[in-house]
A and B are shown apart, each in its own frame.
Chain A
Amino acid sequence: MLRLPRFKYLRPKTAREAARMAAELGPRAMFVAGGTDLFPKLKRRQFEVDTLIGLDFLPASTHSGADECVIGARMTLADATHDPLLNRRFTGYAEAAGLVSSPPLRNVGTIGGNLCVDTRCNYYDMTYEWRKAAGFCLKKDGDICLVAPSSPRCWAVSSSDTAPMAVALEGVVIVAGPDADRELPVSALYRDDGIDYLAKQPAEVVTELRLRSAADTRSAYVKLRRRGSIDFPIAGAAVAVKLDGPTVVNCRIVLSAVASYPLEAKAAEEFLKGKRLEPETIQEAAEIASKPAKPLDNADLSHFWRKRMVRVVVERAIGQVTTRNGGSRVTLLGRTAS
């Protein structure tokens, strides 16, 4: 069976202590919370570390502040899915959490982990032996991008379901560094780079996610994947809309799995402002939203088709917001669940 490499396991008591350990050990060490992203990658030797720093001390529950909801980074995706507060006020977020992978994985995978989930590429998320046979790539052990060999950069895909939703809901994360904590918008947590996809320092620990959208904001997440479960998104749309009666006051549309970071469809957001959510308007907005999406041939199904499907998931997500009867996934065979 595939096994983990030998490592030491450190058990800090606080985020500060964890960050200091990480700062001291540098690239030899990584943080681990749920481990559902880390362990497969360690088994495939995509990371080479000899020390893991456990984040078991992180908070795992939600509480509501005056105008915000604070979610502990170690809250499991399953708990976030079923959290009454999140379901009531940040429906799209609870939906996104509930569409990550599969039930047993959601019981262990954390919301902090899903925000930081490694970018993916089907030339990269393979075993050491496979990558050796295919030729190593830019992201690990090699010097070219196998998807776009003439490109100087890595095109691995942001594959988080919850990150686009957290961006759409204008969430912020609290990160603890070796010396101080800081707050940054979730949108500022990511960079357009398949390798250095996180803008935080490697030694910084994400400790909390705070969502503070206004009460009249409605949100929805629609995920496209081949099967009804287990699969990562191959396209997805996170939509948060603030309405004044039937009119859009503000709106955020963020796409998953079509770039190396959660991709905000700014032109579509602008287009919708001040408009009513009529079917034709939604279709037009979805068309505009799909423009910046540039999927490449490094995930399931063809990138041409995925590109075409972006407008479908956006349209469904906006439609979902207007009717707001629960989220849905778009899958091949599976029944559409709500």
Chain B
Amino acid sequence: MKVVGRPLPKVDAATKVTGRALYADDIALPRTLHCRILRSPHPHARIASIDTSAARRMPGVLAVITGADLPVKFGILPVTQDERALEHEKVRYVGDPIAAVAATEEEIAAAACDAISVEYEVLEPVMSIDAALDPPKDERIQDYGGPNNIHKLVALEFGDVDAGFARADYVREDVFFFQGNTHLPMEQHSAIATYVDGKVTLWSSTQVVHYVHRALAKVLELPMNRIRVIGAAHGGGFGGKTDPFAHEIIVCKLAMLTGRPVKCTLTREEVFYAHRGRHPVLMWVRTGVTRDGRITAMHFRSALDGGAYGSYGVASTFYTGALQTVTYDIPAYRFEGCRVFTNKPPCGPKRGHGTPQPRFALELHLEKIADDLGLDGVALKRRNFVKPNTWTVNWLRVTSCGLEECTEHVIKASGFHDRRRRPGHGMGFAISSYLSGAGTAIYWNDMPHSEVQIKVDRGGVTVYCGAMDIGQGSDSVLAAIVAEELGLQPADIRLVTADTDTTPIDLGSYSSRVTFMAGNAALEAARKMRSMLVEAVEAGGRKFDDVTFEEASVLAEARFGTLTSAGSYTPPKIAGPYKGSGVGPSPAYSYSACVIDLDADARTGLVHINKVWIAHDVGRAINPLLVEGQVEGSVYMGLGEALMEEQTFRKGLHKWPSMLEYKSPTFLDVPEIETFIVETVDPEGPYGAKEAGQGPLLPVPPALCAAVHDALGVWIDEVPVTPEKVLEALRRKGKGELPRYGPLRFPLIPYPPTIKVDAPPSTI
């Protein structure tokens, strides 16, 4: 192959390094008005009245809107349409949008927001999982779900779990907590809208133009053909720009009212309120094993602190129980999940969506079991690794699987088993897996998940696809695939992406789906185009490889007329025969293994990371440079979550919504990272490719905690691992108590009766 597998620069590299890429906030249209949003100062309150008259009178203010102007509810999942662009009845977290102003200057819009007076009837806020499980003092946060402030309950059993535990030689239970954290993209969310000729056009920093398109149609009550959503250059998402957001709807409405372009760029503080980040999750896990460490059964419970709205929360809940089985062969498995509403910014999908938390619990839990049995943790895990081409007990189809190779790489390179012991030094190992795209769509439909069109015209090639490049390089992947098939270089390909008017559907940049799904669609379209070109060339008695591309395209255009081709991708229907089986299936799973080497100081509790080794089974690296970038970025984000990032609350509001106090690791805080790319060539991925952007984050937090245990002999069963937690664990160890820091109990949750599902045949 001439393009695939080569470490080529991204197709948009030049625009990114010259400052020419136009992000949403860079777009300056004539007569643009600036929008600011008034947000709730209360975590939980009913709105008694809103008086916007003073704001409306301010010179420079052209429009003020409230919830009465946008009453239709929306939400990313069809089952949780619980958000309004502006709330006029009730606010559910500090930061909930109430009113919006369009003014000639941003400072006027901000001052006008301050001039809006709102009367509230303050309600008791619910700020923890425990509080949400109790009867509300005043009223429930949402009017659906329940009992109390429970949003979603799920209970599933695969295989005979009781029998599995009965035949175990050893059973262990543990409780873990994974603190919530946020995406913190460098670019604050921004959107700018126009309303011309009865049509709304929105440029936004979004990961999914299609979902924004759908939400706008619903809330603005316009046909989809009157709305165009264009993905502007994207300054970072990590899952945080995957929901449709209030400000996107608001600028459209304000543009419709004023007839002028309206822009809204969130402040950094507002980005923390937009959130949709990592759920704080409390977890309980019980596993039975045989004497030699083979898992016989597992029972996993999770409780997710969802924040005030649904967002992706139902999916997040299922994800906390879905992928345990994709790395370890668990013959019988019970999962009970619960998501609660609290008066905090809504949680949603962040890199790894619902799976880093259980991965953290699972990996450490198995380390502890190995410890108890006197077995090597790596050996115990290896003994239970899933095999390629098998079904898991919960009906997930595993095809290619590079777990063994990944483990081999990091164990060998790090010298894991040959390390010399010295005080305070430790190494930790963990593995993980992630989806290459969700196998089912967010809203039920039978249409493809991704579509690509190719136009060839006098030698020029243009690729159209709805996929949104959020910096991960999806445009470059599309260009590489089409170039490979047509015998060109990526630089020869023009791309039109993420524009609902001009490009066919793609469900966007989330769930690590783009390379696999848009890649397959591009491959199909490119192969169809190639066959036309080949046919036209060969009709003249020549071979495709002997003519220039320009010649081939002229011959083909002469033969067929306008040269277009299309390809699409629909994931295989492999979901299991039970309710809730839509979350977890993926056409392919990536695999990672990680070793962390660190020094931990028993006196201060400070942890210094020396090095991280990570191996990732990406199936096939279409562009190894971009794969490495995704892996390194994942490790970085995993380290941040493991050591310092946390979304915490005090007095009913976000404790510190700023980049100074929300700790994002700097150049000086990140160790050397050594990356190994493992290629297992997946049978269904484009050229065998799988995902790279999320999976490698997952093993980092548990590997870190395992290394801290190796160094100091204490278990830190929650992240972030702050020095005070390490010291507290050491204090307990010194007093002869349990040498750990972490949650002590898992709450009583009224799970529904378990749905029992028979296990599938084990091999494909």
Contact = CB atoms under 8 A, between A and B. Distances in A.
Contacts of B94: 133
Contacts of B188: 1
Contact of A332 (B603, B606, B653): B606
B658 A332 contact: no
A309 B669 contact: no
Interface stretch (A172-180, A196-204, A212-220, A225-233): A225-233
Given A122-B656, A122-B661, A301-B723, A333 B639 contact: yes
Contacts of B723: 301, 305, 332
B67 interface: no
B644 A226 contact: yes
A333 B661 contact: no
Nearest to B656: A122
A221 to B, nearest CB: 17
Interface residues of B toward A: which range? 35 or more
A228 B666 contact: yes
A130 B657 contact: yes
Contact of A301 (B110, B114, B607, B724): B724
A186 to B, nearest CB: 26
Contacts of A312: 603-604
Contacts of B606: 330-332
Interface in B93-113: 94, 106-107, 110
A130 B653 contact: yes
Contacts of A308: 604, 727
A2 B724 contact: no
A307 B606 CA distance: 15
Interface string B158-201: 00000000000000000000000000000010000000000000
A261 to B, nearest CB: 22
A84 interface: no
Contact of B668 (A134, A229, A330): A229
A333 B670 contact: yes
A103 B606 CA distance: 24
A122 B644 CA distance: 17
A230 B653 contact: no
B146 interface: no
Interface string A293-331: 000000011101100110010000000000000000011
Contacts of A195: none
B42 A133 contact: yes
B700 to A, nearest CB: 12
B106 A334 contact: no
Contacts of B665: 227, 333
B663 A305 contact: no
Interface string B660-685: 11010111111100000000000000
B542 interface: no
Contact of A333 (B39, B41, B660, B669): B669
B41 A132 contact: yes
B605 A134 contact: no
A211 B670 CA distance: 37
Contacts of B41: 129, 132-133
A335 interface: yes
B39 A226 contact: no
Nearest to B190: A1
A49 B39 CA distance: 25
A309 B604 contact: yes
Contact of B727 (A126, A305, A332, A333): A305
A127 interface: yes
A135 interface: yes
Contacts of B639: 333
B644 A130 contact: no
Interface string B630-666: 0000000001000110000001011111101101011
Interface string A115-126: 000000010011
Nearest to A228: B668
A32 B107 CA distance: 22
Nearest to A146: B651
B666 A227 contact: yes
A282 B606 CA distance: 21
B657 A229 contact: no
A227 B41 CA distance: 30
A305 to B, nearest CB: 4
A1 B666 contact: no
B669 A331 contact: yes
A230 B666 contact: yes
A334 B654 CA distance: 26
Contacts of A66: none
B39 A129 contact: yes
Contacts of B40: 133
Nearest to A232: B660
Interface string B55-90: 000000000000000000000000000000000000
Q: Which among B114, B607, B654, B723 has the highest number of chain A CB atoms within 10 Å?
A: B723
A337 B667 CA distance: 12
B53 interface: no
A250 to B, nearest CB: 29
B590 interface: no
Interface string B717-749: 000001110010000000000000000000000
A258 B639 CA distance: 29
Nearest to A226: B663
Contacts of B643: 332-333
Nearest to B106: A3
A148 B607 CA distance: 31
Contacts of A102: 666
Contacts of B107: 3, 5-6
Contacts of B607: 332-333
Interface string A219-252: 0000000111111100000000000000000000
Contacts of B106: 1, 3
Interface string B586-621: 000000000000000001111111000000000000
Contacts of A302: 722, 724
B317 interface: no
B663 to A, nearest CB: 5
A198 B755 CA distance: 68
A99 B473 CA distance: 36
A300 B663 CA distance: 10
B267 interface: yes
A134 B668 CA distance: 33
A333 B665 CA distance: 8
B267 A2 contact: yes
A152 to B, nearest CB: 21
Nearest to B270: A129
B265 interface: yes
A305 B644 contact: no
Contacts of B667: 228-229
Contacts of B671: 333
Interface in B333-354: none
A186 B656 CA distance: 32
A139 B665 CA distance: 31
Contacts of B408: none
A146 B653 CA distance: 14
Given A304-B724, A309-B604, A332-B644, A228 B669 contact: yes
10 nearest A-B pairs in the assembled complex, by CB-CB distance:
A228-B668, A133-B41, A333-B669, A334-B668, A305-B724, A229-B666, A334-B669, A302-B724, A133-B94, A227-B666
Interface of A: 1-3, 5-6, 102, 122, 125-130, 132-135, 146, 226-232, 300-302, 304-305, 308-309, 312, 330-335, 337
Given A126-B658, A129-B39, A331-B606, 20 more contacts: A1-B106, A1-B267, A2-B268, A3-B106, A3-B110, A129-B41, A130-B269, A132-B41, A133-B41, A146-B651, A227-B663, A227-B669, A228-B667, A232-B660, A305-B724, A308-B604, A330-B606, A333-B609, A333-B670, A335-B608
5 contacts: A2-B267, A129-B269, A130-B269, A226-B663, A230-B660
Interface of B: 25, 39-42, 94, 106-107, 110, 114, 188, 265, 267-269, 603-609, 639, 643-644, 651, 653-658, 660-661, 663, 665-671, 722-724, 727
